[in-house]
Structure 1
Amino acid sequence: MSQLNSKRPITPYGWAIKQRLTEMRVDQKEFCRMYGIPPYRLSNLIHGTRRAERYRRQVEKLLDLPPS
């Protein structure tokens, strides 16, 4: 794990994303590749560093998460 990631805590919403990806047996990199989501935007959502509304809506739909 890089130092950068260890300094940014994962939000509850980020844990929900990670849990769904685990249930789907797909990692973040593969999920982003499959759906054309920039990996840094998914990271923004997981760590809460940026709202990224467009990708938030897309991720919620793809992972069947409730709107946050």
Structure 2
Amino acid sequence: MKFLEKKKHPITPLGWKIKEKLIEKQMDQKTFCDMNKIPASRLSNLIHGTRKTKRYRKQVVALLGITDEK
């Protein structure tokens, strides 16, 4: 039943930085999104690189104090 399998997208280098910072802050993705009014789907898009989310990319990078090397 291949048609039921979901494609998994690997985590991008930026995604790993985001996850590391959230762990340092002892915060989960949902809490971070709720606190900063970022849609959870957009943070997921950033972590997995499935969509260019320029607006939220800048916001997340600034909030977490990480570098965004493309």
TM-score by length of 2: 0.86
RMSD value, Cα: 1.4
Percent sequence identity is: 55
Q: Is residue 59 of structure 2 the alignment partner of residue 58 of structure 1?
A: yes
- For residue 44 of structure 1, what is the aligned residue in structure 2? 45
Instruction: Detail structure 1 runs of 4+ shifted over 6 Å in the superposition.
Output: none
After TM superposition, list the pairs within 5 Å mapping 1:1-68 onto structure 2.
4=6, 7-68=8-69
Structure ranking higher in helix proportion? 1
CA distance, structure 1, for counterparts of residue 62 and residue 41 of structure 2: 19
Q: Which has the larger radius of gyration?
A: 2
Specify every segment of 5 or more residues in structure 2 that has no aligned partner in the other structure, as ranges: none
Specify every segment of 5 or more residues in structure 1 that has no aligned partner in the other structure, as ranges: none
TM-score by length of 1: 0.88
